[in-house]
Amino acid sequence: MDRDPERCELRRPWLRESDRAAFTCVLVQQILGTAREDAGRVTPETCRECCGYPLPSPTRLNPVIASLVYQGANQIAADGGATWREREEAVRSQRFVLDQLELVRDDVSVAGRGKDGSPAKALGQVGLVGWNTATGLGYINRDLATHLPIAKWLVPKHSVYPSLDPPRTLTRIDAVRLELETAQIKTWLRGLECVLFAEFPYFPRLAQCARELGIRVACVPMWELTDLEADWVSLCDLMICPTRFAYELLGDWKRRFHFRWDVAYLPWPIDTGRFRFRMRRRCERFLFVNGTGGCGAFRDDGTPAQYRRKGMEILLAAAGLLRPIPFLVYSQERPTLPIPENVELRLPPASNERLYDEADVCVQPSRWEGLGLSMLECQAAGLPLVTTDAPPMNEYRPLRAVPAPETELVSILGRHALTSHNVTPEDLAASLETLYRTDIAAASASARSFIETEHSWENALPRLIQVLAR
């Protein structure tokens, strides 16, 4: 029988006034050797999941507690205000729980015991491949290296964006050029049970080499760039879909084209410790995060569509209709269109968690998205979201989902066909005008709660380990 979360002897109320929905796990604090309240922070959902296992102790952890300790150690190690002793004990604690991050085989019951009493199955050695850059993919990889017990990370040099400083993690990081030879790839792969990458494998022979060595191949696909004819796609064993839209789409592809991969759905997690919550009480300024703008599109006749994925053109036109309402835009690319005087254009800050410091509502009129990290990050920071009423953007419980009356079939990167959902500037402006200078406190709290409940690493890590360990 499951334990009652309300009566768990390890649970203590969260003392901060701003976060009454959270609790502190004293066992996590004990293992980490700290009295820090935030180091043992758990949500009610995580508490319920933990109570599906027998009562844990320092010598008998479960995957939920082990993952919370692992993340708490990362949080302390990255905190410049932590003492040397706290950081030292965090590293020791992290090493202690690496062997505890185990899940039973596929026939596990919810209580964490195999039907036949079989022992737990360890995750094993996982290798990560991908950029370490100030881009969406780069931040996905950094989170994977930080939160998941990755054995080693192969980081190719990007042709445009420089690599960031390594995150504070126990993961071994190997920075390499993209032109690795087959023998070098195989040397790096040896000793791994699984190799993981987001969007694509970077090295043409990587998936094939992994299969030849008996190593499982796992991908976090960006559906719009998944080329069904690419050889690596058929070599994957697992597709970890970060949105429900991608999960349904790849499940359909699996059935129709007889791919052998398993398909799993993992609502993509956000580091709620790094993206600190601040209650927004009144909408005084809108934020748009353009980044690199995303891919451009082409019509059937081969002519450019004159727009890109993130919808900068829509945002600037809408802002022009809303003078003098202020907008803050972060972009790595300077727009080709005129910038209205009520729009402040900046380069993104060095750390992406600072993107959300100086605004109240995030506006992302994307035409399509593979994942759309900024739509989740902004809500973790307390900014309600306004976005396009089309999948996967409308999966993120936006405060406003603006209809896209105009759709167009386009292609990106020469061969990937998809539908562009085009919000009109007039509709976007009308939606934003109704929010300006209104009370958004409840929406701000709801945005953070959504991320903690559906998109936190605390909830996602046990599930991610489970699908990788199959």
**Contact predicate 131/155, CB 8 Å:** yes
Q: Of 422, 402, 419, 401, which Cα lies nearest the Cα of 410?
A: 419
* Helix, strand, coil percentages for the chain (3-state, nearest 5): 35, 20, 45
d(CA 387, CA 384): 10
Q: Where are the beta strands (DSSP E) in 179-273?
A: 194-198, 216-220, 238-241, 262-265
> Which CATH number goes with the domain that contains 436?
3.40.50.2000
pLDDT for residue 84: 66
pLDDT for residue 334: 85
pLDDT for residue 19: 56
Amino acid, single-letter form, for residue 250 = L
pLDDT for residue 315: 97
**CB atoms < 10 A from the CB of 281, how many?**
13
Q: Of 108, 160, 96, which Cα lies nearest the Cα of 134?
A: 160
What angle in degrees, to the nearest 10, is found between the helix axes of 84-98 and 63-77?
150
pLDDT of residue 20 exceeding 80: no
Q: What's the structural domain count of the chain?
A: 3
pLDDT for residue 145: 92
d(CA 95, CA 374): 32
Tokens of 387: 């976005």
- Do residue 86 and residue 26 come from a single domain? yes
Q: How far is CA 255 from CA 234, 251, 265, 266, 391, in A?
A: 13, 6, 16, 20, 21
d(CA 461, CA 150): 12
pLDDT for residue 227: 84
**Contact predicate 139/373, CB 8 Å:** yes
List the single range of 44-48, 252-256, 376-380 with lowest mean pLDDT.
Answer: 44-48
pLDDT for residue 75: 78
pLDDT for residue 99: 58
- Do residue 250 and residue 133 come from a single domain? yes
d(CA 49, CA 59): 19
**CB atoms < 10 A from the CB of 394, how many?**
16
Query: Buried (b) or exposed (e) across 212-227, using 16+ Cβ within 10 A?
Result: eeebbbbbbbbbbbbe
Higher-confidence position of 50 and 278: 278
- Do residue 44 and residue 101 come from a single domain? yes
Q: Of 195, 194, 188, which Cα lies nearest the Cα of 174?
A: 188
- Do residue 242 and residue 308 come from a single domain? no
pLDDT for residue 149: 84
pLDDT for residue 55: 86
Query: Buried (b) or exposed (e) across 41-56, using 16+ Cβ within 10 A?
Result: bbbebbbbbbbebeeb
Quote the mean pLDDT of the chain: 86
DSSP 149: -
In a domain, 304, yes or no: yes
DSSP 301: T
- Do residue 163 and residue 204 come from a single domain? yes
Q: How far is CA 233 from CA 106, 204, 253, 348, 422, in A?
A: 24, 11, 11, 33, 30
Q: In what helix (H) or strand (E) does residue 12 lie, and over which residues does it extend? A: strand 11-13
Higher-confidence position of 318 and 148: 318
**CB atoms < 10 A from the CB of 96, how many?**
17
d(CA 198, CA 191): 21
- Do residue 370 and residue 307 come from a single domain? yes
- Do residue 149 and residue 221 come from a single domain? yes
Dihedral over Cα of 341, 347, 352, 353: its sign: negative
Mean pLDDT of 301-321: 91
Which residues make beta-bridge pairs with 388?
402
pLDDT for residue 256: 84
pLDDT for residue 121: 41
In a domain, 50, yes or no: yes
Q: What percent of the chain has pLDDT over 90?
A: 52
Last residue of a domain, one of 201, 236, 265: 265
- Do residue 310 and residue 242 come from a single domain? no
In a domain, 275, yes or no: no
State the residue range of the domain holding 229: 123-265
Whether the bond between 349 and the residue before it is cis, its omega within 30 degrees of 0, is: no
DSSP 269: P
In a domain, 464, yes or no: no
What is the SS3 assignment for 444? Answer: helix
- Do residue 243 and residue 358 come from a single domain? no
**Contact predicate 234/431, CB 8 Å:** no
Segment 69-80, tens digit of pLDDT: 887 887 787 776
Q: How far is CA 396 from CA 117, 251, 331, 399, 401, in A?
A: 39, 21, 22, 9, 10
Segment 106-160, tens digit of pLDDT: 333 333 333 333 223 446 789 999 999 988 899 999 999 988 889 999 999 998 8
pLDDT of residue 21 exceeding 50: yes
Tokens of 342: 């009520």
In a domain, 326, yes or no: yes
Last residue of a domain, one of 118, 137, 156: 118
Edge to edge, what strands does the sheet with 23-25 contain? 11-13, 23-25, 41-42
Mean pLDDT of 255-267: 93
Last residue of a domain, one of 92, 118, 144: 118
In a domain, 135, yes or no: yes
pLDDT of residue 392 exceeding 90: yes
**CB atoms < 10 A from the CB of 116, how many?**
7
List the single range of 207-216, 261-270, 366-375, 461-470 with lowest mean pLDDT.
Answer: 461-470
Dihedral of the alpha carbons of 330, 334, 335, 338, in degrees to the nearest 10: 100
pLDDT for residue 1: 52
Mean pLDDT of 433-441: 97
Higher-confidence position of 29 and 386: 386
